[in-house]
């Protein structure tokens, strides 16, 4: 329904600004056309086509409700917030900004895997991280006199070192 026509207080043009002001305890209504409103220092919003406005509103709504989405599986940030679960392996990158601190919080600050890696798809744990970890474990095992464990750890560390000199010793014929 269209608003009833109201002329500007200062000319005959239609008023676009309708303000209610209280001056010295007296309520006064103010109706101004675009030009007189601008002259009075009141900013009049530029006209925006309604469909563009609605489009923008819809986008804002979507962004607020669902957030960004994973390009691989379509899972949205809102889905993750609601379920606590990710949609696919690629979600770890798509939502890294939130997922990384979540993981660190739940894992006592840890941010690097140092355990096993699957043999088949060529994945690897960075050697430096694993070596540092194994050395720390070795120190701990020695400090607590767990010698069997220390021996196992020492073997693992030795196995990880690149073989200097390659085929110098024990080369099969």
Position 133 contacts other proteins (CB under 8 A) = yes
The neighbour count for residue 95, using CB atoms within 10 Å, is 23
Angle at 97 between CA 99 and CA 68, to 5 degrees: 95
Stretch that binds other proteins, among 5-13, 29-37, 52-60, 100-108 (CB under 8 A): 100-108
- The span from the CA of 140 to the CA of 128, in Å, is 18
- The span from the CA of 165 to the CA of 156, in Å, is 20
Position 38 contacts other proteins (CB under 8 A) = no
- Closest distance to other proteins from the beta carbon of 135 (Å): 12
Pick the binder of other proteins from 8, 137, 138, 150 (CB under 8 A). Answer: 137
- The span from the CA of 93 to the CA of 8, in Å, is 57
- Asked if residue 81 lies in contact with residue 64, where contact means CB atoms within 8 angstroms, the answer is no
Stretch that binds other proteins, among 9-17, 37-45, 57-65, 101-109 (CB under 8 A): 101-109
CA contacts within 13 A on the Cβ side of 59 = 6
Please, which residue, 19 or 72, has the CB nearer to other proteins? 72
Please, which residue, 33 or 137, has the CB nearer to other proteins? 137
Binding site for other proteins (CB under 8 A): 72-75, 83-89, 92, 99, 102-103, 106-121, 123-126, 133-134, 137, 146, 149, 152
């Amino acid at each position: 329904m269209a608003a009833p026509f109201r002329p500007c207080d200062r000319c005959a043009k239609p008023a676009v600004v309708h303000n209610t002001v209280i001056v010295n305890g007296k309520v006064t209504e103010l109706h101004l056309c675009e030009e007189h409103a601008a002259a009075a220092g009141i900013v009049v919003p530029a006209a925006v086509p309604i469909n563009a406005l609605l489009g923008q509103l819809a986008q804002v709504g979507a962004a607020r409700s669902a957030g960004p989405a994973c390009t691989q599986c379509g899972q949205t940030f809102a889905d993750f917030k609601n379920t606590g679960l990710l949609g696919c392996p690629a979600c770890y990158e798509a939502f890294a900004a939130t997922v990384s601190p979540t993981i660190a919080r739940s894992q006592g600050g840890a941010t690097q895997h140092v355990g096993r890696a699957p043999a088949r798809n060529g994945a690897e744990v960075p050697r430096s991280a694993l070596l540092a970890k194994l050395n720390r474990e070795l120190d701990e095992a020695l400090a607590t006199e767990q010698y069997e464990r220390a021996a196992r750890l020492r073997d693992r560390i030795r196995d990880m070192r690149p073989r200097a000199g390659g085929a110098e010793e024990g080369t099969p014929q």
